[in-house]
Amino acid sequence: MQGELSLEALDAVCFVLESSDGFAWDGDTDDGERVSRALFWLGTPEVNYPLSNRVLRKVRHYLVTGDNQLTSEDLTA
């Protein structure tokens, strides 16, 4: 679909954003900390939450509200 990334592309984009020196956010602020955490979760699904629509919805909710709804059940999503 136009305007959407595949889960594999999202994984790659998050990993690049997190590991690149070309992008910066202040991890000492609430907003920056949320960006850092979300990128880590999404960019390393092999050690964090597997990429699924359920996990993506929860990460999006976390980015917008700061409310982390991810649970241990999401580790096997």
What tens digit of pLDDT does each residue of 14-63 get?
Answer: 888 888 888 888 888 999 999 989 988 888 888 889 988 899 999 999 99
Q: Is the per-residue pLDDT at 5 higher than 70?
A: yes
Please report the pLDDT score of residue 45 as a whole number. 84
Please report the pLDDT score of residue 23 as a whole number. 83
- Taking the C-alpha atoms of residue 19 and residue 66, their distance in angstroms, rounded to an integer, is 23
- Taking the C-alpha atoms of residue 13 and residue 35, their distance in angstroms, rounded to an integer, is 13
Please report the pLDDT score of residue 46 as a whole number. 85
pTM over 0.85, yes/no: no
Q: Are 69 and 61 in contact (CB under 8 A)?
A: yes
- The answer for residues whose C-beta is within 8 angstroms of residue 48's C-beta and 6 or more apart is 40, 41, 42, 75
